[in-house]
Amino acid sequence: MKRLRLHHVIFGLSLVCMTALVLWWAVFLNRAVDVERQAAMSELQHQALERALVLGHRVDAPTLADLPEDGAVELVPCAGGGRPGAVAVGPLHAESCLQPSTSAVQEIEHKLRRRRAMVHGEGSFLFLLVCVCIAMLFHLVRQERRHFGRMEAFLHAVTHEMKTPLTGIKTLLETMRSGGVPQDLQPRLLELGIENADRLEHCIENMLVAGAIRSGQHQLRLTPLALGAELEAFLEHRRRTLTGRPEAVCSRWEPGAEALQVMADSDMLRIVLENLVDNGLKYGGDQPVVELRVAAAGAWAAIAVSDRGVGFDRATAERLFVPFLRGLPGGHGVAHGTGLGLAIARDLCRRMGGDLVAQSEGPGQGATFTVTVPIAGKE
């Protein structure tokens, strides 16, 4: 963290130095253009003075043939015809004057205007680059702070998510070891212990999968699976861990859906469903009910996991899949969760060739998360 801050300070100082350098460069080159103009005009004035001295001592009156072939100077009458800086052809022909020609002056001005425009263009471009770098630095600092904030919230959530069931299991074991549990309460306490162990296992599994995905070490084993058997095994496991309310998770099959075979990874499909059902139970209200509805949709098998809970705004649907963001805007009193479940579920669905989308009619209207996986043998 300190090293990152040091890098930001060094980068910020570098940008300040670059800005100062760009401003100095622009001022210096503008001044250089002005000096070049003065030098060019002085050179023309010197040529006019030198030629006037030569022609002023000749007996013959000066003519255009006596002027330089490059057209740098011109001959004009001194009486009101010359511009400021015109040199009299004296002492013998004081009525005539030599001055830098209009075409030579215009050529110098045109050349210097182009150079000044080039300086302004390059300076503006460099200043724009510095502004872009400053904007990027500001954006990166904000992203870093946001990332660290999410990570701190995630670590706090993971600590709570793991410590709570672990404490419950430890308390249960200590109570049973002391022999202070009545015989008729032992089955209930064992069910609670299994529920806490399952919750702890689910949390650890999510973190392991997330780490494997982010490190690029996660591998899928896609094989044809009988969707009916997979879901029945999953539902049976979930109902065993729902202490006292096995009916909180139910299923509904559209005609022909039970015979579907899908190309998927059995373990990863189970993790996806675990996360979606867990999400439905968390946000399903006081007496949550989660329904799995299975249907065929062309070349896809669709598993819609619905609850009747808090729902969400349609505009926030994609936000639900951002890692480390827990819950919904405004908060709904959900105390546990790591913010990884939905992000992992979508990532696994897409890695299996399917997808995961979220739908809701609005706050308080429940939510539906639809998993699609390809049917085996169909393109």
Question: What range defines the domain where residue 195 resides?
Answer: 151-215
Sorted by sequence, the CB contacts under 8 Å of residue 277 that are 6+ apart come out as 238, 249, 290, 292, 305
Sorted by sequence, the CB contacts under 8 Å of residue 340 that are 6+ apart come out as 154, 206, 207, 210, 323, 324
Residue at 273 is within a domain:
yes
Residues 243 and 355 in one domain: yes
Residue at 331 is within a domain:
yes
Beta-bridged to residue 93, according to DSSP, are 89
Residues 134 and 273 in one domain: no
Sorted by sequence, the CB contacts under 8 Å of residue 134 that are 6+ apart come out as 15
Residues 129 and 157 in one domain: no
β-pair type (87-89, 93-100): antiparallel
- pLDDT at position 324 is 65
- pLDDT at position 335 is 47
Residues 172 and 188 in one domain: yes
Q: For position 155, which CATH number holds?
A: 1.10.287
What separation, in Å, do the N-terminal and C-terminal C-alpha atoms of the chain show? 49
- pLDDT at position 124 is 81
Residues 17 and 130 in one domain: yes
Q: Give residue 186's Cα distance to chain centre.
A: 53
Residue at 145 is within a domain:
no
Return d(Cα 92, Cα 57) in angstroms, integer. Answer: 6
Return d(Cα 20, Cα 351) in angstroms, integer. Answer: 50
Residues 156 and 282 in one domain: no
Count of structural domains, the chain: 3
pTM: 0.57
Pick from 92, 84, 85: nearest CA to 62? 92
Q: Is the dihedral of CA 38, 39, 45, 48 positive or negative?
A: negative
Q: What is the pLDDT along the chain (379 residues), one digit of tens a residue?
A: 566 667 667 777 777 787 787 778 778 888 888 888 888 888 888 888 888 888 887 877 777 777 777 778 888 888 765 566 688 887 887 788 888 888 888 888 888 888 888 877 877 887 788 788 778 878 887 887 777 777 776 677 677 667 777 888 888 888 788 877 787 777 777 877 877 787 777 777 777 777 777 777 777 788 999 999 999 998 888 887 765 676 788 889 998 888 899 999 898 898 899 889 988 888 887 788 899 999 998 889 999 999 988 888 888 888 888 876 655 544 444 445 566 788 888 988 998 999 999 999 888 888 999 999 999 876 5
Residues 94 and 17 in one domain: yes
What the block records as the tokens of 340 is 């990884």
Collapsing DSSP states into helix, strand and coil, what is residue 220?
coil
Residues 49 and 188 in one domain: no
CA angle, corner 93, sides to 59 and 51, nearest 5? 85
Residues 207 and 327 in one domain: no
Residues 368 and 251 in one domain: yes
Domain boundary residue among 109, 140, 171? 140
H-type alpha helices, the chain = 2-55, 102-177, 186-215, 227-241, 266-282, 341-351
Q: For position 231, which CATH number holds?
A: 3.30.565.10
Residue at 58 is within a domain:
yes
